[in-house]
Structure 1
Amino acid sequence: MYSNLPRRRRAAWKGVALFLALLSLGLTDGVLPIAASAQGSARSAGIIVLVNDASPHFSDFQRLVQPYLDHFGMPYSLHNVRTTPVGPEIGTHALILVGHRQLDPAGTALDLVEQGYISAGINGGTGLVNLDNDLSPDGKSARYQFVQDIWGFAYKQPAIEWGVTFVNPEGGPGIVIDCTDDQHQTPVLTTTLDAEALDPTDGLWVEYAYPPRGVKAVFADVDEEDHGLPAMRCYASDIPNGTYDVSASLYTDNRRPSMRYYYGYDAANPKEFYVDAESGSGGEDRFTDYALGTVSIADGTFEIYAQDADLFTATLTTTYPLLDLYAQDAALMANPEILPLGDPRFDRATQQVSYPTITQTLTLFGWSSVRLTEVGRTVSPMPYITEGHWAGEWIGTGSMTMAGLGPLPADVTVLARSGNDPFLLSTTYGQGRAVQWGSYDWMSHLVKGPMRPLDDLVWRSVVWAARKPFAMQGMPPFLTMRVDDVPGPFGWIEVANEFGYKPWVGLFYGDLGPQDAAKLSDLVHAGQATASVHAVHGDTFFYYDDAQQKDWPDAVMEANFADATAWHTLRNIPISSYVVPHAYEFGTNAFQGLRDWGVEFVATMMEPGTPYGSPWVQNGPFRRYETGNSSSGTPLYYADWIQVPGRPEFDGQFFNCATEIRDDGGYEWYPSNDVLSSIGRGTRHAMRAFNSMAIATLMTHGPFIDLTDADNWRAILQGITANLAPYNVIHVTMDDACRYARAVTTSHIASSSFRPLTGDMSLVLAGTTDIPTMFYLFTESAGAIQSAMVEVPPFEGTTQVSVSIGPATGHYLFLPVVIK
């Protein structure tokens, strides 16, 4: 173990660890080995991952971390510190990734010389991302000298925290006033964790915290002012005089309809103004920031009052549960058959729509905080790693064990916090960059999990820290549309085509009339849509006997395929290579017929031969090691081979491919005549997938589109398209997107190298692809990171791609990319 020394004394410690490393190379004049050797020869442009297979947390790397590396297509090699000493060559890599906590808890795998090589490598330009947050054996002293060399941490006992709040290192946008802080609220409340305290008729505000989310708010019930509810005052003193933009973090639980929040800046009129808060806009975290206008402060005091909110009763809202006590769901109540079987309101036992008993707690409204931002103030952009987030953004998680870091050195940057502890940190060390994670517990589905709003921090932290150039496969910004339960008509597809969308259509083929079938034939032949059988009718399953929850008899299955084949042939509608069955249910005997159709890609949530609601299928990239229910509201991305129980001949034949952002809106996109909500939810679903480098899919069911006016449908797609413009979206069919996902799953970057003197980069890819693929190439100039997409032709076995970047005239300065 190593004593905890202030960072200002770090130079003296290099005389111990770093000097030993240089002395072993005969280099004691300050010239680092990487700086000397890499200029004249090729250096690795990949990642070396340090693991210890004897560590009690080695499995964390396999279960939680490695799936991310594979999903992002990062070039990496594993280095087991238990069996293989760390040598000076570690500094020839683009990045060192410490792959799990307790890399060397006994202090027997990494001696001072080996740790000196790590420090020397970072000092010479190799990047570091450290996931090991067990950095002190006792909350006082340092476990690793290389961590002290780079960071100079002080330590304390690790804490348990919830949630992640993002920080702008250049200063957050304005002043945040916590409405649950006793110093900023009237009446003064005591926090409770007891949901029973949320009595809708007691006329009292309740300061309530739900521990898994970690955020507190002051709550009351709609119309509780009729029971004597006083106005809640949220205030602050010592505010610099000036004009401020005001925003508030408001409760937007998707279990109740959109609400109109009233507020005022005068105790005599707490309903002078209002803002409309969209149900479900905050996802599973339940809170969304809304702009409240501007105020002028002349006496250093700010105060805002809240006393009431109203439920919308005229807006169609499709989030669950069905709030039939408030007629905003009138369209659904009149057409319950439109509910998809995956919707939580559908009762699997009775095969009927379930209308849950409504409790008053579903009509809560709540204020968490208020933010003041001086008008005209220029807010600094977020750093590269957290570019996809905004200062003050809060993301809920389950409990996480943090690193136990004390006061931080001045040159360490906090990018995000969890409670009072740093969640993500960055610094520079010599020519290198380093990132320290406060915890990776969030990677588990039990705490937060993949396809949540934290995935981008993984690939962005690697890209930022890695020495450039750096390449990874990743997923291009593909945008698809998947619509299940479609009986026709298809005018909505033509509108979608106007904006580049090429929908996949899951047909209730028994309901299609001849005119609709003819229109669909034209659209598919024109490449504007793809289509395949979803079911015969809404209550007549095709691939599985849902009523009996078992495979159809073989004779029935064969007859189903014969009927659907004849139907497609007669109507000249080509069968898509992508199939999603009704309720995701495939029988084990459905796959011969699928293969005969030429189907290669499917979407299912569970193992073939089991009904919806069974355990989710443990497919990659993110569900191989953890279990859950197929009907859960957990967001998902599947891109892996499906196995058919008892039918090994179909191994490697069908690729399971689907993206669903189930935690925002309750299961799917749900477009409706509420144009703004439909734009917001669709935008958020696509952005989540883009930031996670998954296939972005606007997934819904046909009847929701049918209930949406044509002008509103066009306005929705126009709004989403405008919002997503910064992503340089590539519109593709589900068939093509899944083909691409399969190609990057069956191939990887086996090695990458770079010659600084000539500016030549060489990558070797291994595996098999049947279409051209691409990889992201990241370079950097004057501190700005750029990316380009480099195409790789189809290959089998291995292929080499060479790229000319130009000689390095500075550590990160390169000329424009030229593909050889």
Structure 2
Amino acid sequence: MSAGNRSVLAIIDSRKLPDRLGADHTIFAALKHFGIPCEVLDGGDYMGAIPEYIAPRALYVIAHDGAAEWLKPEVAARIAEAVKQGAGLICFDRRVDEWPSDLRGLLPTDVGQARVGTLSIAEQPSFVTHGHEPGAELELEQEIAVVTLPSSAGWQPLVTTGDGQAVIASGAAGEGRVVLFGAGEQLYAEGVFGHVRGIDGLMWRSIVWAAAKPFPMRCIPPYVTARMDDCNGTWNAFDYVRVMNRYGIGPNLGLFIDEMGPTDWAAAKRLYDAGGADFSMHAFRDDFYTARPNYTPYAVLPDKPDLSNGGTQVAFEGLSMDHHTGLDLPLETIQRNFRRMDEAFSRAGIQHSRVLNSHFGEVGWGAVPLFLERGVDMPTNNTAFGQLYGNQPVWHPKPYGIRGLSGRYGVTIDRCPQHPGMTFVAMSVSHARKTHMGLDILSGRVPFIGESETPKLDEAAAAGIANIKLGLDALAYGMLFTHEERINVISLEDWEYVVNSIVKGLDGWEVEYAEREHVGVTCKRLFDSALVRANLTEQGLHCVLCGQTDGPSPLTIWENDGEGCTRRVVEVDALEGYAEVQLGR
């Protein structure tokens, strides 16, 4: 029990290589992302374990098919007794009839088998299925074998087959709570359904619901934030940002600094001073759309620079990379460009955000140390350094290494492979949508260069709600995103309608509206540290954390609330390698 009685013990068998390999990506990557202290009990390890290592725990996770077959009767009995006394059990092992009898006795006697290509959310709402409409279908990429449960008293179906047989179900065993994933960990395999596609909540909510309480996690709070790219202020000089500020949303704004006029810079300064936004260098300019005959801005500020001379001389000028060849600009040019950037931000009285938000995500290697000198250390684009936007390399960024059909990655919270000073913090839904533009809620829905004849405001709001919920369900963060040139073709009232509709659409969801830089800083601090021990004593919950952080970070404590659960967040001071946190009962 070195990780404590409020930790997780995952049961695996490394001798069953094909079965266990899947769990590395589907279960253990998730436990790491959720910030859960976890140890393993491995059937392939000849060293064994003392009884005190096995119990007590907050939760047991049987992590893959065949993982529990090897358990000796006395070990299985100790786990079963711990569950009956209040620990939780999550089962991803579909070979339940191979279990030792004491452990098998925690589940219904009569289980069945089926093959399915579609699953459905059960009709009865629950904490675990929060955010899903009853009866909503989950279409799998391929058929898989599932264990089905009979209609048994005390077991609540969570996910069912098309004919109503429970595949994921929750129940009680004595004082403990049990959740059976009859689809196994295979449900979260990339070729079946996968992570960050809307069902991560079924996993982490099952863990939270089943675990003995209080149950601590180092997870990301339910932040909702925003990011706008290609920014020059629009016709309303960033007034659209104030619409988001009313709810506490502070976007990161990626600036085209040469396209901004005095009114834009003055408005940016006011936002900066009020904490209403953080600002990043996007590029100097990229005004291609001004040459299009169907480009019609809603209005134009009188002091907005006309760099393109009415659309006749459009250009793209980036900071550090040649947009055509993918090569770094000469180092002298990069250094000169950084001085231009510094001067523009300094004149406005604005400090560059820690968020690196580069146009097309294109960052030359020569720019990396210059960004770091300025404290810019959190890239937000779902692209790798040192190359053009297209043909992204395969690099499996944490937490899940999800690569979409367009070659773009989804949620990314990971160190830059080539430079440890940079930590990617990016929330994208490009992997889960038809194109990489799925993240842009206005794309194809406003009259920008022929994308739509009229504003489709309800469609835009629905896209924003879906994208944000996807991030929250993944225990990442919700992102409201668009390219500012699309805001530039609609009225402020239209934009206000979209934002208000998104906020209303999140009713019933636990959300914390936040500034984008703050979200990134929190994610990085969580990434740079870990909860390694959690133990409940008569004095309260004792937690041990390790790592190095540059400021406070959240520790989430879950408690039971009837059949649901509630969280409270405790701020932990900056970590200098090791810290103990004592929380009273």
TM-score computed with the length of structure 1 as normaliser = 0.61
Q: Which moved more, 1:667-676 or 1:471-480?
A: 667-676
**Structure 2 partner of 1:640:** 414
Q: 1:795 to 1:442 in 2, by over 3 A?
A: same
**Structure 2 partner of 1:249:** none
**Structure 2 partner of 1:530:** 278
Q: Which has the larger radius of gyration?
A: 1
**Structure 2 partner of 1:799:** 579
C-alpha deviation, 1:606, in angstroms: 3.2
**Structure 1 partner of 2:11:** 50
SS, match of residue 11 in structure 2:
strand
The two structures, once aligned, show a CA RMSD in angstroms of 2.5
Q: Of the candidates 743, 751, 755, which is equivalent to residue 533 of structure 2?
A: 751
Show CA shifts across 1:204-258 (max 9, x none).
Answer: xxxxxxxxxxxxxxxxxxxxxxxxxxxxxxxxxxxxxxxxxxxxxxxxxxxxxxx
**Structure 2 partner of 1:762:** 542
C-alpha deviation, 1:455, in angstroms: 0.6
| Cα contact 1:91–1:122 (8 A) shared by 2 | no
**Structure 2 partner of 1:653:** 421
Show CA shifts across 1:510-529 (max 9, x none).
Answer: 21122212221222233211
- Structure 1 Cα separation of the partners of residues 389 and 356 of structure 2: 16
Superposed counterparts of 1:280-291, under 5 Å: none
C-alpha deviation, 1:102, in angstroms: 2.0
- Structure 1 Cα separation of the partners of residues 24 and 5 of structure 2: 23
- Structure 1 Cα separation of the partners of residues 523 and 396 of structure 2: 14
- Structure 1 Cα separation of the partners of residues 555 and 396 of structure 2: 24
**Structure 1 partner of 2:228:** 483
- Structure 2 Cα separation of the partners of residues 475 and 419 of structure 1: 34
Show CA shifts across 1:609-664 (max 9, x none).
Answer: 2222323563543344x6556644x6x211111123xxxxxx32111011122345
**Structure 2 partner of 1:547:** 324
Q: Of the candidates 43, 59, 68, which is equivalent to residue 95 of structure 1?
A: 59
C-alpha deviation, 1:700, in angstroms: 0.9
Report the residue type matching 1:480 in the other structure: T
**Structure 2 partner of 1:383:** 126
Q: 2:438 aligned with 1:667, yes or no?
A: yes
**Structure 1 partner of 2:28:** 66
- Structure 2 Cα separation of the partners of residues 570 and 384 of structure 1: 51
Q: 1:410 to 1:599 in 2, by over 3 A?
A: same
Show CA shifts across 1:552-593 (max 9, x none).
Answer: 232332232222222222333321111121111222222022
| Cα contact 2:248–2:515 (8 A) shared by 1 | no
**Structure 2 partner of 1:468:** 213
- Structure 1 Cα separation of the partners of residues 149 and 168 of structure 2: 14
Give unpaired runs (5+ residues) of structure 2. 287-315, 447-454
**Structure 2 partner of 1:597:** 374
C-alpha deviation, 1:153, in angstroms: 3.7
| Cα contact 1:669–1:685 (8 A) shared by 2 | no
**Structure 2 partner of 1:160:** 115
C-alpha deviation, 1:426, in angstroms: 1.6
**Structure 2 partner of 1:505:** 253
C-alpha deviation, 1:465, in angstroms: 1.1
C-alpha deviation, 1:781, in angstroms: 4.9
SS, match of residue 522 in structure 2:
helix
SS, match of residue 589 in structure 1:
helix
| Cα contact 1:91–1:120 (8 A) shared by 2 | no
Show CA shifts across 1:159-182 (max 9, x none).
Answer: 43223311134xxxxxxxxxxxxx
Q: Of the candidates 70, 73, 79, which is equivalent to residue 118 of structure 1?
A: 79
- Structure 1 Cα separation of the partners of residues 389 and 260 of structure 2: 26
| Cα contact 1:619–1:640 (8 A) shared by 2 | no
Q: 1:714 to 1:406 in 2, by over 3 A?
A: closer
| Cα contact 1:682–1:720 (8 A) shared by 2 | yes
| Cα contact 2:131–2:509 (8 A) shared by 1 | no
Q: 1:459 to 1:512 in 2, by over 3 A?
A: same
**Structure 2 partner of 1:149:** 105
Report the residue type matching 1:643 in the other structure: P
Report the residue type matching 2:27 in the other structure: V
| Cα contact 2:399–2:414 (8 A) shared by 1 | no
Q: 1:131 to 1:146 in 2, by over 3 A?
A: farther
- Structure 1 Cα separation of the partners of residues 348 and 114 of structure 2: 64
| Cα contact 2:72–2:100 (8 A) shared by 1 | no
Q: 1:407 to 1:728 in 2, by over 3 A?
A: closer
Q: 2:160 aligned with 1:417, yes or no?
A: yes
Q: 2:389 aligned with 1:428, yes or no?
A: no
- Structure 2 Cα separation of the partners of residues 431 and 709 of structure 1: 57
**Identical amino acids, percent of aligned pairs:** 22
Q: 1:722 to 1:604 in 2, by over 3 A?
A: closer
TM-score computed with the length of structure 2 as normaliser = 0.85
SS, match of residue 101 in structure 1:
coil
C-alpha deviation, 1:668, in angstroms: 1.8
| Cα contact 1:615–1:627 (8 A) shared by 2 | no
Q: Of the candidates 688, 691, 694, which is equivalent to residue 476 of structure 2?
A: 694
Equivalenced residue count is 533
Show CA shifts across 1:168-199 (max 9, x none).
Answer: 34xxxxxxxxxxxxxxxxxxxxxxxxxxxxxx
Report the residue type matching 1:436 in the other structure: L
SS, match of residue 425 in structure 1:
strand
C-alpha deviation, 1:783, in angstroms: 4.2
Q: 1:629 to 1:579 in 2, by over 3 A?
A: farther
- Structure 2 Cα separation of the partners of residues 478 and 417 of structure 1: 31
Report the residue type matching 1:444 in the other structure: A
C-alpha deviation, 1:407, in angstroms: 4.2
Q: 1:398 to 1:688 in 2, by over 3 A?
A: same
Q: Of the candidates 169, 174, 186, which is equivalent to residue 441 of structure 1?
A: 186
